[in-house]
Chain A
């Protein structure tokens, strides 16, 4: 795109924003940032947390978070400085000229008001459209954003649609009043890969059709590569590098940009997983789950009222890392909670080194509790804010191992060093740590118990890519040093592939495929595994368009997870489903080499064949797929 020919929409000139601390000292948050946005252009602001990207994007609405102040520079929207505009004019700009899409759609929508009312509210309030016009416009946008049942969806309440749909509805809300500029703040970060792709596709289409300009704020370069025309790389409130998407992605100049690119994990493929030395091998698995069914509500005849997991069998061998993947709602966390004894299973067994464990943790022995440690997802809430790091880490030492006094302090320092934190951190409170540091303390607490098995529930999900990559590196070291086993739960296949040596793919509470990482990530795939693998964004311009051509995408991404009692739960999203078989009968487990299992009605030969023919079938398949599923390229 030739930038010179386009009219400038937003000019940010030497923007400076500061905060003041208790001693009234100025702390610069944004240190002189300059960039332009042209009409019809998507500009990505990329950087880690603390880089000031959200702060800069909010400046286009002439808004700062409480405690921050504009201290210099200009933000010109169509030539008008929004920073110095009168408060009344600023109100007109917000929503009418510039629309903001927050990160979490679920938190943005009011649960008590129907969707259509909320989507049209801003446009009507600003007097841009009458209610009737706004309704028409909203309907148009529902179609453009490829929402299911576009004619009816406006009458629903926010909790009645899925997360990905809500995210798209928020885009409709922003676009309803035809704003000049949209500010999208990490709109896909909290979503599953399959949902992310669906949202990205819709955003891209609608931005193109409406010819609107947008600021896209994210830390994920792979996502940016799909949607942005121009990229601004930020670190600590300063621009490191900016340029066209092609230039930044394909020829990054700045070392920091390269660092960000390294943190984008490569597409999951065979040969990435860890290998384990034989020195830790034992005859019996460290932890195993046999034919386990679990869920919520009262249990009748071994069936819970709301079943989540069904007939799950998983073995965790000593010093191995078992990755559990699947979309949200597939029962990954429930599996870990059953293993830890937080949620007693309805039927089936949980065994620790061939000793059967009691379902409830209240009935388990202290040493059994010690051997299985649970690492919570959110370090922010998993650490008591009123205890110092030393107290947090000291407690398991004292509780399980009776270590006290001086010895305890020495041990705490040792554990801190193990997770690569300075020993002085023992006197700090969790509030005084960064997100990555908190997560390290969170893991260190579990390590302090000297466990055999660590259950890690999405431990890197809330972290930036670089910080997350460091945590994975740390976990790998810890496994090699301690010989502990890990159950590593994540919805991010790339993370799992880079750390685990065995993978369990869960779908709607059932194991659809499991085996060594190398085998699972090589054909033949279960159709669901293939959907997951193809959904992981690649750091390549044009990847989104290419991927949308694949037929598993066309069928798979539009629907969500449904837990079914009979047949294969994946049937409604499966491109290879066999009518009257897959929806009626439980799929058989097909055994492959090295303990690799695929649960599917299709034979291994058919699955292998499908892999080879995917592309050919695809070309002809497009016509069969509903018109609305097609991507506009």
Chain B
């Protein structure tokens, strides 16, 4: 064997040694970490801010939501013997700043409760329809289609006309209406996952249905569903606010962003910002959640984002 050939063989041996150790990859690829872009970070801060306000708001607000302590209605920022009105007063002379803070609890609280309810109903029925198939799927899906076919605000109006407006009723109505879209997604995800080989492997092993749902289906559906949760929450916030704007949601004198916009709409002609601040609160909260959702779904593959919307 001549010299270059010998070198060649030695070089080859190195490669072979590497090969013998493992099939291909010597190292595990780095685990995927969820990294947010700067918009995502800012959005997270905004959402966290509103969440904190929703929890501790009533303790830090300078006025009670019902205190009519301002000098007059639709005033801009001013102070008097009761305190300072940073964002001015509303149509009854109440402090806008305090009412936005109080409203955070009401708006976000109702929305969260309604979205949770929608998820519990939607996922349960959606996964059940996907797993069971046949007439169960048929029956649930058709009823769901009927709900989806009606405009949600119409449905809300009819339900409120029938049952009256109270906070539990609002939560239940919003929950049921939005459960229909959660159902669609949960069922589609469930169907996708149920035909995967690893589910079939579990079936061949003899696993029960509950175990398959719990261990194989739900963990794989969790991430897309969590992403959707954010989006759905936004829709519910807007829905509750729209109902309040129409005067059918949260009833006065309780503060709620949607109803605050409606109450103070007249103030716009008097150069008052009282209607703008709650609108700004709704916008900042919903847009921030949207940005986070976008960020997460961009990281976990765009296909997910498309499936959601």
Residues of chain A touching chain B, judged by Cβ–Cβ distance below 8 Å, are 21-22, 48-50, 235-236, 240-241, 253-259, 340-342, 361, 364, 366, 369-370, 373-374, 376-378, 381-387, 395-396, 399-400, 428, 431-437, 445, 449, 466-467, 470
B201 A445 Cβ-Cβ under 8 A: yes
Interface size on B, residues (CB 8 A): 34
CB neighbours (8 Å) of A342 from chain B are: 200, 203-204
Bitwise, B167-208 to A at CB < 8 A (1) or not (0) is 000000000000000000000000000001110110111110
A240 B15 Cβ-Cβ under 8 A: yes
Give CA–CA (A431, B300) in the complex, Å.
14
CB contact under 8 A between A361 and B206, given known A376-B200, A470-B23: yes
CB neighbours (8 Å) of A364 from chain B are: 206
* Whole-angstrom distance between the Cβ of A368 and the nearest chain B Cβ: 9
* Whole-angstrom distance between the Cβ of A449 and the nearest chain B Cβ: 7
With beta carbons under 8 angstroms apart, the residue of B12, B23, B205 that contacts A435 is: B23
B205 A340 Cβ-Cβ under 8 A: no
CB neighbours (8 Å) of B207 from chain A are: 399
CB neighbours (8 Å) of A241 from chain B are: 8
B25 A50 Cβ-Cβ under 8 A: yes
* Whole-angstrom distance between the Cβ of B296 and the nearest chain A Cβ: 16
B25 A434 Cβ-Cβ under 8 A: yes
8 contacts between A and B (CB under 8 A): A255-B8, A255-B13, A374-B204, A376-B197, A378-B197, A383-B198, A386-B219, A437-B25
Among all A-B residue pairs, the 10 with the closest Cβ atoms: A255-B12, A436-B23, A386-B219, A382-B197, A434-B24, A432-B28, A369-B206, A381-B197, A434-B25, A384-B198
Give CA–CA (A386, B32) in the complex, Å.
13
Give CA–CA (A424, B299) in the complex, Å.
28
Bitwise, B15-54 to A at CB < 8 A (1) or not (0) is 1100100111100111101010000000000000000000
- If over half of B's interface residues share one DSSP class (helix, strand or loop), that class is named, otherwise mixed; here it is helix
Give CA–CA (A554, B59) in the complex, Å.
89
CB neighbours (8 Å) of B200 from chain A are: 342, 376
CB contact under 8 A between A255 and B9, given known A49-B24, A342-B204: yes
With beta carbons under 8 angstroms apart, the residue of A259, A396, A434, A466 that contacts B205 is: A396
Q: Which B residue sits closest to A370, measured CB to CB? A: B206
Q: Which A residue sits closest to B33, measured CB to CB? A: A22
A381 B19 Cβ-Cβ under 8 A: no
With beta carbons under 8 angstroms apart, the residue of A255, A361, A433 that contacts B15 is: A255
* Whole-angstrom distance between the Cβ of A410 and the nearest chain B Cβ: 21
CB neighbours (8 Å) of B30 from chain A are: 21-22
Interface-central residue, B12, B33, B203, B220, by most chain A CB under 10 Å: B12
Give CA–CA (A257, B35) in the complex, Å.
43
* Whole-angstrom distance between the Cβ of B266 and the nearest chain A Cβ: 54
With beta carbons under 8 angstroms apart, the residue of B33, B196, B216 that contacts A381 is: B196
A387 B219 Cβ-Cβ under 8 A: yes
Give CA–CA (A45, B29) in the complex, Å.
26
A48 B220 Cβ-Cβ under 8 A: no
With beta carbons under 8 angstroms apart, the residue of B28, B201, B219 that contacts A374 is: B201
B203 A467 Cβ-Cβ under 8 A: no
With beta carbons under 8 angstroms apart, the residue of A50, A395, A445 that contacts B24 is: A50
CB neighbours (8 Å) of B81 from chain A are: none
B3 within 8 A of A: no
CB neighbours (8 Å) of B23 from chain A are: 434-437, 466-467, 470
Q: Which B residue sits closest to A429, measured CB to CB? A: B31
A254 B9 Cβ-Cβ under 8 A: yes
With beta carbons under 8 angstroms apart, the residue of B15, B29, B33, B220 that contacts A384 is: B220
